[in-house]
Structure 1
Amino acid sequence: MQEVAVSKVVDVHSEHGALHGEHSGRSRNPVIKVHDLAWLEFDKPDLAAADVFAEAFGFHTVTRTSDNLHLRGADAGAPCVLIRRGTQTRFRGLAFKAADEADVRALAAAHNAPTRVLPESIGGLSVQLADPGSIPVTVVAGMHELPELPAQPPQVFNVGRQATRVNTTQRPQRAPATVQRLGHIVMQSTTYLETLNWYLDNLGLIVSDFLYFPGQRDRGPTMSFIRCDRGSIPTDHHTLALALGPANRYVHSAYQVSDLDALAAGGEYLSAQGYFRSWGIGRHIQGSQLFDYWRDPDGFLVEHFTDGDMFDSTLEPGWAPFTASGLAQWGPPATADFLGTRPKHARHEVVSMITALRENNEFDVKRLIGLLKVAAS
């Protein structure tokens, strides 16, 4: 299980660390330590519309059939988004990449779960589990590695007093930003603490930052930004972000692009194609990413990001209050669409809240008040 923090915290990257007795953000003895996200899985009724958006967003299509659409970034590796034709739109789960097939077998043995050989088009071995919120979680290893594709070169900048670009202009094209890779997924859980500990204990993930509802720090955190533990090898500030909320669900996923110009010009292209920008452009606080959020044709929230923080395993978690204004260092205020407070979302959110309050979980009336304060802050 997770360790208990001591009163003195060293190597903290933020202004505030844990108080005595607060969650340390890591497990004493995890079953395995995953290396990265592998892919996300979705069901969508209209694969043609999904394919058109994928191209405009900057993915490369690996597989396109009447029933399946597999998307990848330009970096070497397996497809990072697997879409299956379904009668309704839904998120089907996430997959993590293990160090090797021995780790997949070790995790399977710990849960008395079978391993399965993946389809030949992907290759490798897998074990499928479910987190405490019943979200399917697959751990995989040994997949075929697709070769690296041409990258979108970053711009050369004249910064401060240094003239690096001389006798050359800047003319970034308004074209799809080339997706390099899948960076992270954000999910919501009614059993936040139980689910957080499940990921730490089973997959060896470690927390980069904790957030807590204003005035409720004594009740513990309600959101965590969680990274892979690869020792001295730096990894993304968060591969998974988990928040307490009234439903167990996907919130958004994020895909890296080369730089701010790619993100901004790619956004201009998406806007010209009629797609809806949910929030952006700005720079986050936790993770520091430059961000731009979009809705795909099925309503899923997806993010372009660049220039995110990279941490090794030595840094301890930071602690901060959870506020809407605290989600970005600069940029426009977080929108109602991003926060899920638009009138079109209201009925669904109210139903989710009422349902959650009737069930035995961590989402009680005081937590509901805290969540409403976040959206209003």
Structure 2
Amino acid sequence: MTDPHADLHSEHGALPGEHPGRAPNPVVKVHDLAWLEFEKPDLGKAELFARAFGFTTSLRTADELQLRGTEPGAPCVLIRRGARSRFTGPAFRAADPADVLRLAEATGHRVTPLPESLGGVTVDLPDPSGARVRVVSGTHELPALPEQDPPTFNFGHDVTRVNATQRPRREPVKVQRLGHVVLQTRKYRETLDWYLAHLGLIVSDFLYYPGQRGRGPVMSFIRCDRGATPADHHTLAVVLGPANRYVHSAYQVADLDALAAGGEYLLDRGYRRSWGIGRHIQGSQLFDYWRDPDGFLVEHFSDGDLFDSSLEPGWAPMTASGLAQWGPPATKDFLGVKPGRDAFRELRAVIGALREDNEFDFDRLRGLLKVAVS
């Protein structure tokens, strides 16, 4: 029997002349994601889901909602009241306060103060896809909150739990922190190179359409360059597609029991699982994907890979079966092909993209269609 996961792992590296996965002299090297910003018309509904998902509210006003995890630092998610639901952009944390000024001078943009509720300063830049990207420094530090109590495991004959039961409670998981965001763009290569050159990010893994490796990758999983200090396998992922849009964001939880029991709590309250539970290949995370009431895809994850700056990018074909080592098959909802409003919107985006001069052409469309059935 053929292993569908053969040749999909990141140990397979680049061929001569392929993208190096890093810029030789980036303007700065950001330390991490700081937060993500959204607009939504109903903050009450957004907060209700957020609490069930595992966030804690750190600020609530008539027009703004700030959500945090248990780890110290800035909020994970900022939601402002708006006429429609939309993602407005990511914010990255500068590794050094001077980097904000350095980035502003290199790009011709201004350093501006953030709202008093956040503190600090930002330089706001447009990426090639039009997303507003913030690099921030000097923000208020929220104190740590109590973590979820870890279970005590018996592994085979290595016994540490005796005369005691294992009963994870069905309650909201405690989100620890923001892990990553995935963005789709019509200008994949230009957008990738922009993040590498301006923010100093480096690629952990490239994916390419089967049979189209010679045309270059269509997705990259990108991490922060912290030198010898390990960083998440990806803080940002960029994927080629027919529309410039948010794909999903991911939030770390303690372990598999917390992830699974928290998922049962969400199901009990009528929320919709998109895909999971399983374990990814690129990044190795345990994952569980959900749709919030506004249709945004959000992920609980745990046990992800950490790489230092010495590892070079892996290369693998993009396939639906290659998204997970184990777990249920990727759903039509997760892949964006479930019949309905979102699929119709994506179809219209495909037609529009094919009429314009960008990287998403007919060959790329054929590659994407192969991925959906692979």
Alpha carbons 2:279, 2:327 under 8 Å: kept = yes
Question: Under a length normalisation based on structure 2, what TM-score does the superposition of the two structures give?
Answer: 0.97
Which residue, 353, 356, 364 being the options, matches 1:356?
Answer: 353
Asked whether 1:149 is paired with 2:145, we answer yes
Q: Which runs of 4+ in 1 moved over 6 A?
A: none
Which residue identity is paired with 2:20?
S
Which residue, 241, 250, 257 being the options, matches 1:254?
Answer: 250
1:8 alignment partner in structure 2: none
2:236 alignment partner in structure 1: 240
Task: Report the alpha carbon displacement of residue 161 of structure 1 after superposing the two structures with TM.
Answer: 2.5
Give the match's secondary structure for 1:184.
strand
Which residue, 26, 31, 52 being the options, matches 1:56?
Answer: 52
Which residue, 365, 370, 377 being the options, matches 2:367?
Answer: 370
Which residue, 195, 205, 221 being the options, matches 2:201?
Answer: 205
Asked whether 1:32 is paired with 2:20, we answer no
Provide the aligned C-alpha RMSD in A: 0.8
1:104 alignment partner in structure 2: 100
1:223 alignment partner in structure 2: 219
Distance 1:198 1:153 in 2: 41
Distance 1:124 1:331 in 2: 42
Distance 1:149 1:195 in 2: 36
Task: Report the alpha carbon displacement of residue 346 of structure 1 after superposing the two structures with TM.
Answer: 2.7
Task: Report the alpha carbon displacement of residue 167 of structure 1 after superposing the two structures with TM.
Answer: 2.1
Which residue, 55, 75, 91 being the options, matches 1:95?
Answer: 91
Distance 2:91 2:151 in 1: 33
Superposed, 1:203-352 pairs within 5 Å as 203-344=199-340, 345-352=342-349
Asked whether 1:84 is paired with 2:98, we answer no
Distance 1:135 1:44 in 2: 17
Alpha carbons 1:77, 1:145 under 8 Å: kept = yes
Give the match's secondary structure for 2:279.
strand
Task: Report the alpha carbon displacement of residue 232 of structure 1 after superposing the two structures with TM.
Answer: 0.7
Give the match's secondary structure for 2:20.
strand
Asked whether 1:17 is paired with 2:26, we answer no
The aligned length equals 365
Task: Report the alpha carbon displacement of residue 265 of structure 1 after superposing the two structures with TM.
Answer: 0.1
Asked whether 1:183 is paired with 2:179, we answer yes
Distance 1:202 1:166 in 2: 54
Alpha carbons 1:32, 1:204 under 8 Å: kept = yes
Distance 1:128 1:195 in 2: 16
Question: Under a length normalisation based on structure 1, what TM-score does the superposition of the two structures give?
Answer: 0.96
Q: 5+ unaligned residues in a row in structure 1: which ranges?
A: 1-12
Which residue identity is paired with 2:370?
K
Deviations 1:171-218 (A, max 9, x none): 110000000000000110100000000000000000000000000000
Distance 2:11 2:351 in 1: 36
Q: 5+ unaligned residues in a row in structure 2: which ranges?
A: 1-8
Alpha carbons 1:101, 1:125 under 8 Å: kept = no
Task: Report the alpha carbon displacement of residue 169 of structure 1 after superposing the two structures with TM.
Answer: 1.3
Distance 2:138 2:365 in 1: 43
Give the match's secondary structure for 1:24.
coil
Which residue identity is paired with 2:171?
A
Which residue identity is paired with 1:352?
A
Distance 1:374 1:316 in 2: 25
Task: Report the alpha carbon displacement of residue 354 of structure 1 after superposing the two structures with TM.
Answer: 0.7
Which residue identity is paired with 2:26?
P
Distance 1:64 1:78 in 2: 15
1:166 alignment partner in structure 2: 162
Distance 1:375 1:96 in 2: 32
Task: Report the alpha carbon displacement of residue 80 of structure 1 after superposing the two structures with TM.
Answer: 1.1
Distance 1:318 1:72 in 2: 33
Alpha carbons 2:10, 2:282 under 8 Å: kept = no
Distance 1:196 1:214 in 2: 20
Which residue identity is paired with 1:235?
A
Task: Report the alpha carbon displacement of residue 304 of structure 1 after superposing the two structures with TM.
Answer: 0.3
Which residue identity is paired with 2:161?
R
Give the match's secondary structure for 1:352.
helix
Which residue identity is paired with 1:62?
S
Task: Report the alpha carbon displacement of residue 52 of structure 1 after superposing the two structures with TM.
Answer: 0.3
Give the match's secondary structure for 2:22.
strand
